[in-house]
């Protein structure tokens, strides 16, 4: 697909594709939703550099409005833990080549098992501070971690957010359930780190 062709949402329906020169003849406003190949989601026209230059718009930074629900976040976490567990099992099975005896093999499996949660914490911190802003689980359900304005977060903030999850866990996971009471679906660790978990807007 031609990367220079654009799909435009007109009267609530995607139309096109249009070339860049054809867009100049349409009644494009700064908040018109537009998408081109390679973009994860529709963006408002003012958020696309070449359209700002073509149409004379200024960039208008807006706060996110589409927040990830608890069930999406839980599903993403389950996927991540499952994938890490598969890698853990593969490593343990490989180690059985060097470990003999049933009791020793059981210990070799059980003793490092809690490390899965530490690996998830470190992996999540790194993945959520990258350009994708998400772990594999989050990417599969189309959600990502941002600051309060929808921008990517630094590794330091991501580490702080993930380590703060202990405060969401300690009171019998109420810190997670608090997302049901928060307008932006924030858990306690999100509030502590000034972050949001957002989802792609639906057109």
| Cβ contact 9:32 at 8 Å | yes
Residue 69 is predicted with a pLDDT of: 92
Distance CA 51, CA 3 (A): 14
- Looking at residues 102-130, what average pLDDT do you find? 88
pLDDT (0 to 100) of residue 81? 94
Distance of CA 184 to the CA centre of its chain: 15
Residue 18 in any domain: the answer is yes
Cβ atoms 40, 200 nearer than 8 A: yes
**Residue 203: which pLDDT band, with cuts at 50, 70 and 90?**
very low
- Residue 99 in any domain: the answer is no
Rounded to whole angstroms, the Cα distance separating 65 from 106 reads 48
- Dump pLDDT digits (tens) for 19-45: 877 877 787 888 788 888 878 778 887
Identify whether residues 51 and 118 lie together within a single domain: no
Interval 142-186: pLDDT, tens? 999 999 888 899 999 999 999 999 999 999 999 999 999 998 999
Number of domain units in the chain: 2
* N-terminal to C-terminal alpha carbon distance within the chain: 21
Q: Which has the higher per-residue pLDDT, 53 or 107?
A: 107
Residue 186 lies in a domain: yes
Rounded average pLDDT over 53-79: 80
Instruction: Report yes or no on 167 lying in a domain.
Output: yes
Comparing 127 with 32, the larger pLDDT belongs to 127
- Domain carrying residue 144: 70-77+114-199
In a domain, 95, yes or no: no
């Amino acid at each position: 697909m031609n990367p220079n062709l654009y799909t435009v949402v007109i009267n609530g329906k995607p139309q096109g594709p249009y070339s860049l020169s054809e867009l100049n003849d349409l009644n494009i406003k700064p908040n018109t939703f537009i998408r081109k190949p390679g973009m994860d989601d529709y963006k408002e026209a003012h958020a696309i550099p070449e359209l700002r230059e073509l149409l004379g718009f200024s960039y208008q930074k807006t706060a996110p409005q589409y927040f990830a629900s608890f069930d999406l976040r839980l599903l993403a976490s389950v996927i991540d833990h499952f994938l890490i567990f598969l890698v853990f099992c593969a490593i343990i099975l490989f180690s059985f080549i060097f470990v003999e005896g049933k009791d020793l093999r059981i210990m070799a499996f059980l003793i490092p098992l809690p490390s899965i949660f530490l690996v998830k914490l470190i992996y999540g911190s790194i993945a959520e501070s990258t350009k994708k802003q998400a772990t594999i689980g989050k990417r599969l359900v189309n959600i990502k971690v941002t600051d309060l304005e929808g921008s990517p977060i630094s590794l330091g903030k991501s580490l702080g957010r993930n380590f703060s999850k202990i405060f969401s866990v300690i009171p019998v996971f109420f810190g997670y359930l608090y997302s049901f009471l928060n307008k932006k679906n924030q858990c306690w660790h999100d509030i502590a780190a000034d972050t949001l978990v957002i989802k792609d807007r639906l057109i």
